[in-house]
Amino acid sequence: MSSKYNQMLDYTRNHFIKLARENRFPENGKISHDKDMCLVCHPELIEGNVPLFFFDLILDCIAERRPKIDEDLLTAIKEELTMQELDDDIDLEKLKQNDPEAFQKWRMWAWSAVNTAFEMLSLHSASTPYLQLEDTFSENEIEAKLKQLFEKQRSNTAK
């Protein structure tokens, strides 16, 4: 990897994480930035697996926006379950303890959050691809990545 490439990686990651922190990810395509340094504007320069690059970037952004298992996250999960007309009964303590039923409900939220972020990201520039989890990645890849996000949130959560 060239140092220029590493600089682009850092620039891209920092830019999108900042947008996530400020809750401006939905309008990411409209925010002025250094397009020459942005790998989302220039996916042709991404070294390695391009869809995985975007998946990892999105997971970092979601982890920034929803860093831990708290009332805010619970509200987001309930909203998602309600939208899908599913039972929105989920208990914070059970989720913290990795209860399988609570985790399944978390997973519904996470899946939808990732796909929504993919949609938002696809509007970033004309060259940014449109990806969706179920069309792009294997079950194993998805499960492993979602589990990583969950464990990150759990480890940030006060016991």
Contact (CB, 8 A) for 28 and 19: yes
Stretch that binds Zn ion, among 41-49, 58-66, 108-116, 139-147 (CB under 5 A): 41-49
Count of CB atoms within 10 A of residue 52's CB? 14
Minimum separation from the CB atom of position 73 to Zn ion (A): 28
Which is nearer to Zn ion, 46 or 146 (by Cβ)? 46
Minimum separation from the CB atom of position 28 to Zn ion (A): 8
Nearest CA to 59 out of 124, 122, 158, 133 is that of 133
Say how far apart CA 141 and CA 45 lie, in whole Å.
Answer: 23
Regarding 38 and contact with Zn ion (CB under 5 A), the answer is yes
Regarding 39 and contact with Zn ion (CB under 5 A), the answer is no
- H or E, element range at 16: helix 3-21
Longest dimension (CA), the chain: 50
Regarding 61 and contact with Zn ion (CB under 5 A), the answer is no
Stretch that binds Zn ion, among 17-25, 30-38, 63-71, 84-92 (CB under 5 A): 30-38
70-129 binders of Zn ion (CB under 5 A): none
Contact (CB, 8 A) for 119 and 67: no
Regarding 40 and contact with Zn ion (CB under 5 A), the answer is yes
Q: Kindly list the residues in this chain that would bind Zn ion in the complex (CB under 5 A).
A: 38, 40-41
